[in-house]
Structures are given as C-alpha cells and as structure tokens.
Amino acid sequence: MKKRALISVSDKQGVTAFAKQLSELGFEIISTGGTKKALEESSVPVIGVSDVTGFPEILEGRVKTLNPMIHGGLLAKFDEPAHKEQLDEHNIQPIQIVCVNLYPFQQTITKPDVRVEDAIENIDIGGPAMLRASAKNHEYVTVVVDPADYETVLSQLKDAGEVEKETSRKLAAKVFRHTAAYDALIADYMTNLVNEEAPEKLTVTFERKQSLRYGENPHQKAAFYRKPLGSDFSIANAEQLHGKELSYNNINDADAALQIVKEFTEPAAVAVKHMNPCGIGSGTTVYDAFSKAFAADPVSIFGGIIAFNREVDEETARKLYEIFLEIIIAPAFTKEALKILMGKKNLRLLTIPFHTDGKEEIRLTSVEGGLLVQQYDQFTLDHSNVSVPTKREPSEEEWKALKLGWKVVKHVKSNAIVVNNADMTLGIGAGQMNRVGAAKIALEQAGEKAAGAVMASDAFFPMDDTVEAAAKAGITAIIQPGGSVRDEDSIKKADEYGIAMVFTGVRHFKH
C-alpha cells in the first residue's frame, strides 16, 4: 500500500523538517496553499490537493479538501474488504498520516477593531473535518495537530515502521479536545455578537497553565487552567518573577486579593488569608498603605498574600521582608525592591498589568453535576440608590470611611461585617451563620479602635441587635443594604444612639 501524508497547517513551526523526514521514510506528501508553497521552497516533494481530487480550489479557497478523494482516504478501514474494494473502484488512495492545524480564529478576533467579516473568514471548515475524520479513524490513521508531537511520530515510524496504536489514540483524543476548544471560541464569539446572555448550551474552553502538586489538600489532584481570551488583569495572566511554584490555595487567595485591590484608585494594600481580607489600608504612598494593612491585623497577615496597586519600592520591600508571606502581587517592583525580596527563596513575586482594563467576565462555579453562571459583582456605591433613613447624616469623614467599608465588605464571605476608619480596616467578621455573630468578631478585633469608627454589612440587619452591639462599641455610622421587614427597628436603635445609617439598596452576598 502506498503511504501518504496530508499536511496543511497555519502554524508552520517545524513543518518542513517534519515533512522532509516523512518523505525520506517513503511517504508521498499531499498539501494545500501556503503549506504546499513552504514545502516546495524547502525542496520537499509535494502533490497539490487539486491533483488528488481532480477538482480545483473554489470559492476563494473555502472548498478544497471537502472531497471523497480526500475523506475516503481518511475514513476507510484499511483491512475491511468492502472498504478496500470501494477505494479501488474509485481510485482512492488511503492516507496514513494527517498533519493539520486550523485557521487562526483566536488570533484574528484579538486584533483591535477586527471586522466581523474577517472573523467569519477565519472559521476553518475543511481543517476540522479532516481532523475529526482522521481522529475517528485513528485505528488506521495517525493525526497530528500539535507541532510538539512531530518528534514522537517520527521516532516511532523510524523505530517500528508505524505509529503505536496507543500513541494514535492519544493523538486522536488531543485532536477532539483541540476542535472542541476551537468551536467553543467560535460559539462564544457568535453568542456575544448577538448579545445572547443565557444560551441554551454553554460551551467554554480553557487551556492548562500548569499542573499543581495537589489541590486544597494533599490528597486532592489539581491543575490550573487559563481562559484563552480572558482578562489580562487576572491571576491567570500574572508573571511570576520569583519563588516557589504557586499552589491551588495560593492561586485562590491571590485571586481574592487581586479582586479587592482592583476596587481602589488611591495607593492600597490588601492582605488576604483563606480568601478573606485580614487587613486593608489606603494612603498617600504604597508604604503608608501597607503599614496600615499590617497594623489592621498583624497576627493574621502571617503567611498571607499581599496585593498592591502601585509599584513596590525599596522602603516597602524592607518592611515586607520582615514578615513571613506567601505571595506579593503588584504592577511592578523597583530593582532595589526585587533584590531585597528575592532574598527570600520561597517568596512568590507576581506582576500583573494593572494599566490594562479587565474584560467583563462571567463567574463559573461548579456544583456536583452542574455549573452556576453569574456576572461578577462589580456594583459599587456609585451605582447605588443611597438613602439616609436616620435623623443624623454621616459627616464628611464618616462618608469617606463608609465608602471604604462598602468596597471591602463585598469581598468578605457572608455573613460579613467590616469595622474601619477612613483609610484602614480595624476588624473583619467573615463567614458567620448569623450577622450579630459576624459583628461581634469584627468589633472584638477592632477593640478600642471601634470607638469613632464605622461599620459595613454585606446584607440587611434582620433585627436591631447588630446596631446595639455597634453602638456599645462606639461605632458612629453604619452602611448596609436595608430591605428588612424590621428595618424600622434598626433605624430607631441607630437614632437612639445618634448613629448615622446609610441604606444602599444593594446587598453583597459572597458564598
């Protein structure tokens, strides 16, 4: 049986060397368009697809390989008598090796101001058809979609004269993952084009960024995947400058820290432990902001993750060096800061392009057997229909503090209470089963500093006990969504103690 290989690729990395070695192994090479030209220029003997099909490429190249002379050679069972008879009858030659990758759809749609017409033209039709046909028939055909696999295929052909069945099956599985991911990107693009918000089928694709040593616990296997066209302003696109490989828990915590520090325009520092903030500070400089974040909870910050929204300088780096930390995230580090922090072998240093506007993403949360989909909570106080139901309105300083508390509380696991002043958190109560319990934790952590501070709550007060606890600790202003059937009780209690209370009309549950 004559051996044939069909090669048609948009990514031409290594393809001429691959084709040349196949030719030397006795394969007749079939190719199309730009690939054929590249092979000819490298003196690889090659036959055009049109010479095989007896039909020219038509419709600006939209139709060239969709032909029985090609697909018959890809889908035939070579040891099936009826198939062999039909191949002979129609003078169709079997194809044993297929090397195809697809039109660059992803690269096309990432170009600034790409036209819809250009995106549509880069939806490959013949390529996926050949890949899927070959992958389906992998018992007889070896299909290669990734240049990284060229050497494996060549090595086995040289050693045994054929590709191992197990290898062909693995390559076929890779093909189906590749075409599925390709179609998922197209589906996502088209769905967004027509503004479909909740399609009847959701197709998503991610590419592996790294394998992880384990998941939340050592007995759980895990890996980290990145969305191909996701936001640059994300932990998935961070550059690691130094330190140990990130763990599953590191990535989760780093993402939580990043989401919080995004809220700030002034210099800010965010410390996170177990996906909850333990200290947040803002100031005139990055050093000032971190000093406040550290002072907010110098105990919990130990072994934590720190995120900055400004370049880390030498002064700040010296203070950071004194503390055991897992990760530091920032837009950049000065040379002096890097030199200091790299003195800690295991400390992970990550940079993220804060100047890049993040794309609007959807949040995917897995449940057993299903997936929950929602928008990220990007609602701010500026979007709220704010009202003040109490007799006293907040002072200018209290308003400043309330705004900070409201930024923070939406990133704290519910039930959530934050006690803070105008530029730092003082106490955080997270993930409690009742709201007054969360308030007691936050107030206890704040201690004497609660006097004159403000309180933020992610959801309404079901009764007035939280206001009572706040008042006894010296809280002067409270921000909360309102909306309880017993709001009036909380308002009266606030008026009784002279507390200013703000209703936002929007809650920030975080589970």
Cα–Cα distance, 493 to 505 (Å, whole number)? 19
What is the maximal distance between C-alpha atoms in the chain?
Answer: 97
SS3 308: strand
Q: Is 413 a catalytic residue?
A: no
Catalytic residue among 136, 209, 242, 344: 136
Burial of 506 (0-12, 13-18, 19+ CB in 10 A): buried
Bridge partners, 348 (sequence order): 327
Tokens of 187: 């589906």
Q: Is 136 a catalytic residue?
A: yes
Name the residue among 188, 234, 184, 187 with its Cα closest to residue 209: 234
Q: Residue 294 carries which side chain, given as an amino acid letter?
A: F
Bridge partners, 6 (sequence order): 30, 98
Do 214 and 224 contact (CB within 8 A), yes or no?
A: no
Cα–Cα distance, 42 to 30 (Å, whole number)? 15
Cα–Cα distance, 478 to 392 (Å, whole number)? 11
Instruction: With both helix axes pointing from N to C terminus, report the angle between 465-473 and 435-446 in degrees, rounded to the nearest 10.
Output: 10
Q: Residue 415: is the preceding peptide bond cis (ω within 30°)? A: yes
Do 183 and 199 contact (CB within 8 A), yes or no?
A: no
Catalytic residue among 242, 274, 344, 400: 274
Which residues neighbour 126 within 8 Å (Cβ) at sequence distance 6 or greater? 63, 64, 65, 66
Cα–Cα distance, 168 to 388 (Å, whole number)? 69
Cα–Cα distance, 133 to 129 (Å, whole number)? 6
Tokens of 188: 């996502």
Residues involved in catalysis: 136, 274
